[in-house]
Structure 1
Amino acid sequence: MPDRVAQAFLDLDVYRLILPRDLGGKGVDPLTLFDLVEEVSTYDGSVGWNYALGSNGGSMAGALAPSVAAKLFATKDSAMCGSGPPQGRAVATEGGYRVTGRYAWASGIHQAKWVMGGCFVFDGEERRVGPHGGPVVIHMLAPRSDANVLDTWHTGGMRGTGSTEFELNDVFVPNEHTFMMFGAEPTHPDPLYRVPTSFFGFTLTAVPLGIARATIEALRQLAANRPSMPGRAGLRDQPHVHYTLGKARAMVEASRLGVRDAFTRMWDEVRGDGATLESRARLRSAAVHAVETSIEAVGMCYRAAGGTALFEQFPFERALRDVNATGGHVVFQRAMMEDCGRVCLDLPPLLPMF
């Protein structure tokens, strides 16, 4: 991200919008954050992606003691980044853990104040085992200044996210900066902290939708302003362009409404007796469908733009790379939709993140 954009995010205090007011945030509801991320993504998908993930600290603060969360997110520069799967080793020591590990997919690490990572817990050289026989996993927050940021992000899409890897080498993390990402009882009463794991990825869904919206508009402007060639109708007069604009817009708008409706239903349940498995499956399937639909819509626009789409001065080739890159995230992959189908058949989901 350009320095001036990163600084503007800090000046406008955008990373703490979803954080409850008593923890120093603005208490913005998740749907509003979704809309903001989508709007930012119409300008730049990578910036929207980093915005969505940088704000994740607000949705995880409920796993920390309120006094600790208020301290960690006390300033405007409280963006976080990191990786959920356990890729590190946390050796128990007095007052906390000594953490060592190499973590991938740290989107926005160049703008982040905190890095997060999952760790297997060790007592000396022995891996700690839980009551059910599986390894004990914790997640931790450490200052980015304690991390060695690596140069591994060389990609064909979403290049501006800087989603590179980082290392922690025997970094001390106090107990109060560790938490259970999934399954722990929330420490704060805000309904944000009662949403199930299915909520993770909801805000990210706005990114491909924003990219698709911008690409449809780019095709519209190209068709409206491109002059006709001698003996050949311009894009403005070609039926396949008319169809693409109408169809792509309908696809994106419908899938966007589906995501918002699925989340609204879950949000209502969360503020009542709790989210059902059905509502979790509905949100997961709506999110995957929206990403797949966005990828298809951008591909249609790329094709309709003809040879113009090849040139970097137009947004089509980058949009094609970026929107396909978003589909690679674990919460948007095919296995998530397969689990939604399992729920339809009264079978349990297989993925722990479902």
Structure 2
Amino acid sequence: MMPVSAGLQEGQRSGPPPAERSGGPLAEEDVLQAARAAGRGAVAADRDRRLAPEVVAALREAGFARHFVPRRWGGREGGFAELVAATALVGGQCPSAAWCGMLWAAHGRYAARLPEEAQRELWGGGPDTLIAAALVPPSGEARPVPGGWLLDGRWDCVSGVDFCDWVLLAAPVPDAPARVLALPRSDVVVHDTWRSTGLRGTGSNRVEVCAVFVPDRRSCALGEVLGAVVEPGASSARQASAQLAGGLMFCAPALGAARLALRSWNRWARTASAGRPAALGDTTLQRALARSAAEIDAVALLLARAAVGADAEPTAPGVEAVNRRDAAVAAEVLVEAVERLFRMGGAHARDDTSEVQRAWRDVHTVAAHGALRLDAAACAYAAWGDREDGADRP
């Protein structure tokens, strides 16, 4: 099982990992193997706008897809804290791979809200099913027909869809709440549309569905997927709302990207070349290093604390509002930390082969995600108010 503290200082780990829970591993060594594979494929992923098959296989082998899957299907029912730590560790090598692995885990948690028959279709053959999703905002249209729904429409930014086995799509329904519908990958058409400046390797392409019938057993209301539920015997993470730890998980690849930028920048700044002294002899660069390194470490501690709180109190009042606040602020701090390194990295940081430049693009792209926008998080936090379990929550 991945320790919460793993990756706070890359390469520094103390003692063996705690005992694994039943249902399959998210073991530290497996995550490290996935991180190494992701690092080897990072340049190609950025160039090709998709992950290499061997990177996908390593993420699957590490246990990302099964992380939140119910134990009855062979899944792990793991927690948020270990997923955040594992995602950041992979992100320190390739943020795009971390993003896809994190989402494949998260989508298993959503799929566990589908009816039992649908879950059997997804996981009856094993818990490592890769699931892509486009849930917010709903798109297309689902029309009721005998026995199910007729689905039409287009959905953008479906990360990792090229490698998935199933897709979850949210669609409006005439005169009724929006629905989530599960479709096999063969029922959707993927359009090569993902040309973002950052997270280029995620292959977050558009999908299209043309008059596909989806049976009732593979559908449920969107609110049932995104909201908190009380399910006796289920893990805390399976009962939590989508927003309780969603921002934390989205921020984790950016934490990894910031570590990647810091590591690469530090290597450059300490290297003398062509008879010139190392750049880090400049006190201005020393201050930049100290401040950015401290900010990145502070974000790691903030995310770890928030994720532990999400695992401990998945339905406690105020925890969701505090966690949304912390994730949004963490994203802004990471942008500032990496922006400082980028500005002060000279021509090296701006070269199209630079890890600093790639990480800079990735951090900005992550921070632009709607789940990490401070305005919405601040509004939720202000609405919750100054309660006794707020800012002083351990």
Q: Pick the TM interval, shorter chain.
A: 0.7 to 0.9
Question: Which of 10, 16, 38 is equivalent to 2:88?
Answer: 38
Is structure 2 residue 267 aligned with structure 1 residue 215? no
Question: Which of 146, 151, 157 is equivalent to 1:99?
Answer: 151
Find the counterpart in structure 2 of residue 14 from structure 1: 64
Note the C-alpha offset of 1:60.
Answer: 1.2
| Per-residue deviation, residues 303-352 of structure 1 (Å, max 9, x unmatched) | 221111111222111111111011121101233233144236579xxxxx
7-16 or 87-96: which moved more? 7-16
TM-score calculated relative to the size of structure 2: 0.78
294-303 or 12-21: which moved more? 12-21
Amino acid at match of 1:2: A
Amino acid at match of 2:202: T
Gap runs ≥5 in structure 2: 1-50, 388-394
Find the counterpart in structure 2 of residue 165 from structure 1: 206
Is structure 2 residue 160 aligned with structure 1 residue 108? yes
Find the counterpart in structure 1 of residue 138 from structure 2: 86
Note the C-alpha offset of 1:261.
Answer: 1.4
Note the C-alpha offset of 1:187.
Answer: 5.8
SS for the counterpart of 2:139 is strand
Cα 1:344–1:27 shift into 2, 3 Å: closer
| Per-residue deviation, residues 81-126 of structure 1 (Å, max 9, x unmatched) | 12112102111112211111100110111111111111122xxxxx
Note the C-alpha offset of 1:160.
Answer: 0.7
Alignment of 1:169-208 (within 5 A): 169-180=210-221, 181-183=225-227, 185=229, 189-190=233-234, 191-198=236-243, 199-208=245-254
**CA distance in 2 between partners of 1:115 and 1:296 (Å):** 35
**CA distance in 1 between partners of 2:156 and 2:55 (Å):** 24
Find the counterpart in structure 1 of residue 356 from structure 2: 316
| Per-residue deviation, residues 187-245 of structure 1 (Å, max 9, x unmatched) | 67412222123222321211100100111111111122233755xx4213111221122
Is structure 2 residue 352 aligned with structure 1 residue 300? no
107-116 or 9-18: which moved more? 9-18
Cα 1:337–1:47 shift into 2, 3 Å: same
22-31 or 247-256: which moved more? 22-31
Gap runs ≥5 in structure 1: 122-126, 130-135, 348-354
TM-score calculated relative to the size of structure 1: 0.87
Alignment of 1:72-151 (within 5 A): 72-73=122-123, 74-75=125-126, 77-84=128-135, 85-121=137-173, 127-129=174-176, 136-151=177-192
Q: Share of identical aligned residues, percent?
A: 25
Off by >4 Å, runs of 4+ in structure 1: 184-188, 344-347
Note the C-alpha offset of 1:173.
Answer: 1.0
Find the counterpart in structure 1 of residue 113 from structure 2: 63
| Per-residue deviation, residues 147-196 of structure 1 (Å, max 9, x unmatched) | 01012112211111111111011111111211232337466741222212
Cα 1:13–1:261 shift into 2, 3 Å: closer
